[in-house]
Amino acid sequence: MTPSAADPLELLEIARSIALEAGAMIVEARRGGVEVADRKSSPVDVVTQVDRDSEQLIRTRLAEARSDDGFFGEEGARDPSASGITWVVDPIDGTVNFLYGIPHYAVSIAAVEGEADPQTWRALAAVVLNPVTGELFSATEGGGARLGDAPISIRPAAPLSQSLIATGFAYAEATRAEQGAAIARLLPLVRDVRRMGTASLDLCAVACGRVDAYFERTLSPWDHAAGALIAHEAGAVVTGLDGRRPDHLMTLAAHPDSVVALEAVLRDIGA
Ligand code: IPD
Ligand code: CA
Ligand code: CA
Ligand code: CA
């Protein structure tokens, strides 16, 4: 692997401190109550002012630390990259949990080299912070994955019938109906299914062995950029279908010995 122009550990430190600042702001803002500011792709796809404020804070701090880097955030902020590095940011992943006060949402920040395109980018450093629990997952390319300071790794391979599988559902009604039908077919084949509501933390759950595998359709780059590097560095295969990298059609993370069988089952059930 050719060395990158940027030091991944330096990028990680920047991401960590900005995630902590944004996380503190988010938790504080929630004390005052939260309201839906707008609906996005569908009536159930909501955004709050805190999502926007978090994105703005993260963008500002990144520009202060590294003014030549690009920015690509869920709530629409875009800055071109002069350095070759772009920050891919989900300012609150798990907005619905945040809205309801379910203490399971995250700030997700990844530094990638190349375009903001998961098919071609090279992920260098990643942080996923649950600001309520304080759990901070991180990874650098080739440097392993951590929860806090402790190295983490995936669970040993398990047969599908003994596997706990995390997943998530799209905001679009038609896709949800298909996903519901696929889950009905999957459920009798596995130990159980979890829908925890935050894609980045689902990938981190694979990374630290809290679930055996995770799959979801219709993710966007900011949902999986950081979590995918963390899961990969913890030993998982993180892939799309047919050898593609994760994309809108599928993000699948599992033990290397289980991923082929799981992909076949997902295809079979129409997931
Ligand atoms: C959503 C969450 C959810 C997943 C959705 C995502 P958001 O992100 O990660 O778990 O199922 O696909 O869109 O909108 O809360 O940032
Ligand atoms: Ca959203
Ligand atoms: Ca998200
Ligand atoms: Ca979000």
Task: State the CATH number of the domain containing residue 107.
Answer: 3.30.540.10
Q: Are residues 129 and 177 in the same domain?
A: no
Name the residue range of residue 105's domain. 8-152
Q: How far is the CA of 7 from the centre of ligand 2 (A)?
A: 30
What's the pLDDT tens digit per position in 88-109?
999 999 999 999 999 999 999 9
Please report whether residue 126 resides in a domain. yes
What is the predicted pLDDT for the residue at 32? 84
Please report whether residue 100 resides in a domain. yes
Query: In this structure, what is the dihedral angle of CA atoms 17, 91, 113, 79, given to the nearest 10 degrees?
Result: -110
- Choose one of 198, 201, 251 to mutate for the ligand 1 pocket test, by most ligand atoms within 8 angstroms of C-beta: 198
Please report whether residue 230 resides in a domain. yes
Alpha helical stretches, state H, the chain: 8-31, 49-65, 95-100, 173-186, 199-207, 221-233, 259-269
User: How many residues are recorded in the chain?
Assistant: 271
Task: Tally the domains of the chain.
Answer: 2
What is the predicted pLDDT for the residue at 246? 94
- Residue position matching structure tokens 């993370």: 253
What is the predicted pLDDT for the residue at 1? 66
Q: How far is the CA of 124 from the centre of ligand 1 (A)?
A: 23
Residue 158, pLDDT > 70, answer: yes
Find the distance separating the first CA and the last CA of the chain, reported in whole Å. Answer: 34
Q: Are residues 81 and 210 in the same domain?
A: no
Mean pLDDT of 149-173: 97
Of the candidates 62, 50, 63, the residue with the CA atom closest to the CA atom of residue 23: 50
* Model pTM score: 0.97
Please report whether residue 143 resides in a domain. yes
Please report whether residue 2 resides in a domain. no
Locate the ligand 1 atom nearest the alpha carbon of residue 90 and give its number.
Answer: 16
- Choose one of 93, 173, 249 to mutate for the ligand 1 pocket test, by most ligand atoms within 8 angstroms of C-beta: 93
C-alpha angle 110-112-118 in degrees, rounded to nearest 5:
95
Judge if the beta carbon of residue 168 lies within 6 A of ligand 1: yes
User: Does 74 count as an annotated binding residue?
Assistant: yes
Q: How far is the CA of 95 from the centre of ligand 4 (A)?
A: 6
Q: Are residues 25 and 55 in the same domain?
A: yes
Q: How far is the CA of 22 from the centre of ligand 3 (A)?
A: 15
Please give the radius of gyration of the chain, using alpha carbons only, rounded to the nearest integer: 18
User: Does 230 count as an annotated binding residue?
Assistant: no
Q: Are residues 20 and 115 in the same domain?
A: yes
Locate the ligand 1 atom nearest the alpha carbon of residue 197 and give its number.
Answer: 10
Residue 59, pLDDT > 70, answer: yes
Token pair for residue 199? 């894609």
- Predicted ipTM > 0.90: yes
What's the pLDDT tens digit per position in 184-225?
999 999 999 999 999 999 999 999 999 999 999 999 999 999
Task: State the CATH number of the domain containing residue 225.
Answer: 3.40.190.80
Judge if the beta carbon of residue 118 lies within 6 A of ligand 1: no
What's the pLDDT tens digit per position in 102-128?
999 999 999 999 999 999 999 999 999
User: Does 93 count as an annotated binding residue?
Assistant: yes
Judge if the beta carbon of residue 141 lies within 6 A of ligand 1: no
What is the predicted pLDDT for the residue at 42? 87
Domain boundary among 115, 134, 152: 152
Judge if the beta carbon of residue 169 lies within 6 A of ligand 1: yes
Please report, as a single letter, which amino acid is at residue 229: L
